[in-house]
Structure 1
Amino acid sequence: MSQPLVITIDGPAGAGKSTLGALLAERLGYLYFDTGVMYRALTLVALRVGLDLAQAEPVEALAQQVEIEVVPPTQADGRQYTVLTDGQDVTWDIRSPEVERGVSLVARYPGVRRELIRQQQQIGQRGHVVMVGRDAGTVVMPDAPLKIYLEASLDERARRRTQEHSGGAAQPLDLVRSAIARRDDLDAHVLRPAADAVLLQNDGLSPEAEVAWIMDYITRHG
């Protein structure tokens, strides 16, 4: 295939989607777009205006009112993209512990999902984007010319997560494994590859090797 204008990367928690997506986007000169940041951005705005996140209706109404944008980095401060809410840069604010605690609840509301998927599709339709998520290829951009679905064993994903936190107060491997398994259960309704997705089993592969594999796939199917 010729260089696809939209590439989606889906897969379970800990499969390495974000690392791969960022590297692949850099290689192609594309926008790296983690769809999850939109849910974080909405959660941040909801907290700032004092909404009760446990009340679906006002949060869903807010989703209709807030314009969330994801663009290439606007500052050289280590960010992989810039997140804007109604024009305000909230790139680092969406990583706060308060947002971390509330985002899973916000992301479950059907009205929130409908509106943010619509906004995600607008970004994807511009092209030159690597979109990472759990349903990017099945729901958000089902017509994307190249869909990657990352697969990795539960043990491999737990090992990676443990290594990521080895510099701090790392949890025992069995606890990390159990936490990822619970996340898989929560995500079971979206954890499936698109019918035309390319499956990439990445146990033992470095992110750089994954990028090389995908670039080779693009070349071979051109």
Structure 2
Amino acid sequence: MKKITIAIDGFSSTGKSTLAKQLAKALGYVYVDTGAMYRAVAFFAMQNNWISEVEIAKDQIVKSLVNIKLHFQFNPSLGFAEMYLNGNNVENEIRSLSVSQNVSRIAEISEVRSKLVEQQQEMGKEKAVVMDGRDIGTVVFPDAELKIFMTASSRTRAQRRFEELVEKGQRVTFEEVLENVEKRDYIDTHRIDSPLVKAEDAVVLDNSTLSKEEQFQLVLQLVHDKLKN
């Protein structure tokens, strides 16, 4: 049976991971959350006090990349793979607002991107993979058969993220989350190395008014169309 690579890019809190997980499960494909990889590196840097509000110890982070071991391990009770950093499950820790506030700064570092892109390309070399992030369709898999670019208004995305964090028991305000979303948008689209841009052949999916099931069915049809070709 034909196998394809599905690349999902877009702004933060657009539901890329949710859609990617749904597609991977329905198709029996491997799902790779590249954002979790950058979050894990950010978490590692934060643990070592290499990030502050005013500066980031870039040289120290780059030197330590050789000691950062990342892998995904499938959790059957959850139905998706969780992020492991140096043998420890950090799935919950990397989803905090504090990590969100620093992950785009880590993703700006060219050496970090180079290392993680190499790993991501290795994970998807056999196709039958759904990968989401910021540069999947433009850098990691520019030849992917299906590219999706997800977007929604910043306030819509902030509200979704705020509700997720509150549900997890984190004490945050909507204003804090909105500020984080808008800041990440700016950094992601203005960094020199692999900025967030829509691939020329990507399908734009604005899910501001779509339910999760509606967007899933829409994209699943796009997948089936590709598999027929």
Contact 1:10 1:149 in 2 (8 A): yes
2-side partners of 1:134 and 1:82: how far apart? 19
The CA deviation string for residues 148-188 of structure 1, in whole angstroms up to 9 with x for no partner, is 0012123332332344345455624x554444222211111
Contact 1:40 1:99 in 2 (8 A): no
Match of 1:123 in 2: 123
Match of 2:4 in 1: 5
Contact 1:121 1:141 in 2 (8 A): yes
Which letter maps to 1:210? Q
* Secondary structure of 2:186 counterpart: helix
| Aligned-residue offset at 1:140 | 1.4
Match of 2:113 in 1: 113
Match of 2:161 in 1: 161
2-side partners of 1:195 and 1:119: how far apart? 24
Match of 1:218 in 2: 223
Change in Cα spacing, 1:91 to 1:212, as seen in structure 2 (3 Å) is same
The CA deviation string for residues 70-119 of structure 1, in whole angstroms up to 9 with x for no partner, is 35x1x445362133445x24343652769726544433222111111111
Structure 1: stretches of 5+ with no match in the other structure: none
Change in Cα spacing, 1:147 to 1:156, as seen in structure 2 (3 Å) is same
The TM-score normalised by the length of structure 1 is: 0.80
Q: What are the residue-to-residue correspondences of 1:131-150 with 2, within 5 Å?
A: 131-150=131-150
1-side partners of 2:137 and 2:178: how far apart? 26
Contact 1:46 1:62 in 2 (8 A): no
Say whether 1:62 aligns with 2:61.
Answer: no
1-side partners of 2:206 and 2:68: how far apart? 38
Structure 2: stretches of 5+ with no match in the other structure: none
Contact 2:84 2:90 in 1 (8 A): yes
The TM-score normalised by the length of structure 2 is: 0.78
Contact 1:51 1:58 in 2 (8 A): no
Change in Cα spacing, 1:146 to 1:162, as seen in structure 2 (3 Å) is same
Contact 1:4 1:146 in 2 (8 A): no
Change in Cα spacing, 1:51 to 1:208, as seen in structure 2 (3 Å) is same
Change in Cα spacing, 1:175 to 1:99, as seen in structure 2 (3 Å) is closer
Which letter maps to 1:52? W
2-side partners of 1:152 and 1:96: how far apart? 20
Contact 2:9 2:136 in 1 (8 A): yes
1-side partners of 2:61 and 2:19: how far apart? 32
Change in Cα spacing, 1:3 to 1:215, as seen in structure 2 (3 Å) is farther
Match of 1:187 in 2: 188
| Aligned-residue offset at 1:194 | 0.5
Change in Cα spacing, 1:176 to 1:34, as seen in structure 2 (3 Å) is same
Change in Cα spacing, 1:181 to 1:147, as seen in structure 2 (3 Å) is same
The CA deviation string for residues 117-161 of structure 1, in whole angstroms up to 9 with x for no partner, is 111111121322211111111111111111100121233323323
* Secondary structure of 1:148 counterpart: strand
Q: Aligned-pair RMSD on alpha carbons?
A: 2.9
Contact 1:4 1:145 in 2 (8 A): no
Change in Cα spacing, 1:67 to 1:57, as seen in structure 2 (3 Å) is same
1-side partners of 2:106 and 2:13: how far apart? 21
Overall identity of the aligned pairs, in %: 33
Contact 1:6 1:129 in 2 (8 A): yes
Which letter maps to 1:124? G
Which letter maps to 2:64? L
